Amino acid sequence: MAVRAVQSGVMRIAEALRVRDLADLTGLPDTHVDLFVGPGHPRLAAVKAAIDSLSVGTSTEPPRVPHLEARLRAAWKARHQAPNHREVIGALLPGLIRDAQVLARHADSTADRRAAQALLAQTYSLAQFFLSYQPDAALLWRVAERGMIAAQGSDDPHAIGVAAWLPGQAHRDSGRRHFDAADAINEQALGYLRPLLPDADDDVLAIAGALEFELGYTAARRRDTGTAWRHWDKANDVAKRLPADYYHPVTSFSRAVMGAHAVTTAVELHQGGEAVRQAARADELTIPSRPRQARHRIEEARGYQLDGQPDVAIATLEEAYKAALETIRYNGYARALIREEVESKQASRRRRAAELAVQVGVLTA
């Protein structure tokens, strides 16, 4: 119990100061510990082996481009529909990675090489969703770099935008010292895309909108209120140009997600009351992705906690668990909030938090 109380205290301090790394709290570089890393998934080793494999000299027949495109579309769809989305895509990734690498290596014409590189970049993007918040940061960064190289080789604006969006998030989530790097990669990608936007298709518009929001997200982490909401407004203007039913398969950017983004912005600015108000608006639209729904519920729970409504926060985390158990299981903020309420002096809240803690894996039964 005493150990859990200390852990809960550290997590509350980390949340209040917006830091992820224990070294940022102590000032001691030797105490590098990511406070928000989740557990290692059982399929992590197989995915890592596929990424690390060179497959040089393999006799594997390369797939046809339309076949690999269809498999990737199915993989993204499966991810959005599954509560255990890491398990689902973790099972698919080794084969997808192998085949995308083989296709890229065997492409003959310039057009075929570009198409293959775009598919390889997309495969690495899917891998980054599996690898995020798992205890192998070096592997995540290696995949992010490979994805950017493949995207640049494709000359595909959408692929390049997605390949920038993912490491931009990774930089920001690495801690305050990396915020400038997050901004730099997002701004560079937007600088590349902006001249294309007047005639862009929906996917390019969506990735530009997603990058715009990411600049606001990082500004909110800095507690720069004006900049954060200004970028949210710009992203919302882009969302309004998209069809009402459009949903970007990688970034979730859409009209539907802008309410969730508003909740996140308010939470990161520590505006508890505003986060609760935005949550009421956001729930008017349904996010068509179980992992993204769960992430939104977690952000709402953080808002309720900031607003002094811990019982509502726990109830909202229960909804997140129902939407996608593997989202809450790997989300450091959710785990921290649960740990805090396990120590609550209010018996019914403590019991609900303990039950959720067992389900999520924060505590053992």
Mean pLDDT by 10 residues, the chain (365 residues): 47 50 48 54 95 73 92 97 96 96 91 95 97 92 96 96 96 93 97 96 98 98 97 98 96 97 98 96 87 97 97 97 95 93 94 95 74
Q: Is residue 357 part of a domain?
A: no
The reported pLDDT for the residue numbered 306 is: 96
User: For the chain, how many structural domains are there in total?
Assistant: 1
The reported pLDDT for the residue numbered 314 is: 97
The reported pLDDT for the residue numbered 9 is: 52
Q: Is residue 251 part of a domain?
A: no
Q: Is residue 261 part of a domain?
A: no
The reported pLDDT for the residue numbered 60 is: 73
Find, among 238, 152, 234, 153, the residue nearest to 188 by Cα.
152
CB 360 within 8 A of CB 338: yes
Find, among 152, 225, 218, the residue nearest to 183 by Cα.
218
Give strand pairing partners of 21. Answer: 34
Query: Which residues lie below 8 Å from residue 10, measured CB to CB, with a gap of 6+?
Result: 22, 25, 35
Q: Is residue 92 part of a domain?
A: yes
The reported pLDDT for the residue numbered 3 is: 44
The reported pLDDT for the residue numbered 1 is: 45
The reported pLDDT for the residue numbered 285 is: 78
Query: Which residues lie below 8 Å from residue 245, measured CB to CB, with a gap of 6+?
Result: none
The reported pLDDT for the residue numbered 283 is: 79
The reported pLDDT for the residue numbered 38 is: 62
Q: Is residue 165 part of a domain?
A: no
The two three-digit tokens of residue 303, written as one number: 């808002």
The reported pLDDT for the residue numbered 59 is: 65
Distance CA 206, CA 194 (A): 12
The reported pLDDT for the residue numbered 4 is: 47
CB 325 within 8 A of CB 359: yes
Distance CA 119, CA 192 (A): 20
Q: Is residue 116 part of a domain?
A: yes
Q: Is residue 273 part of a domain?
A: no
- C-alpha distances (whole Å) from 155 to each of 104, 118, 211 are 14, 8, 18
Distance CA 146, CA 152 (A): 10
The reported pLDDT for the residue numbered 39 is: 76
Distance CA 197, CA 326 (A): 35
- C-alpha distances (whole Å) from 307 to each of 24, 211, 279 are 26, 29, 12
Residue 315, judged by CB atoms within 10 A of its CB (0-12, 13-18, 19+), counts as middle
Q: Is residue 72 part of a domain?
A: yes
- C-alpha distances (whole Å) from 227 to each of 10, 148, 188, 213, 230 are 29, 27, 18, 11, 5
The reported pLDDT for the residue numbered 317 is: 98
Q: Which residue has the tokens 């998030």?
A: 169
Print the domain residue range for 132: 42-54+64-155
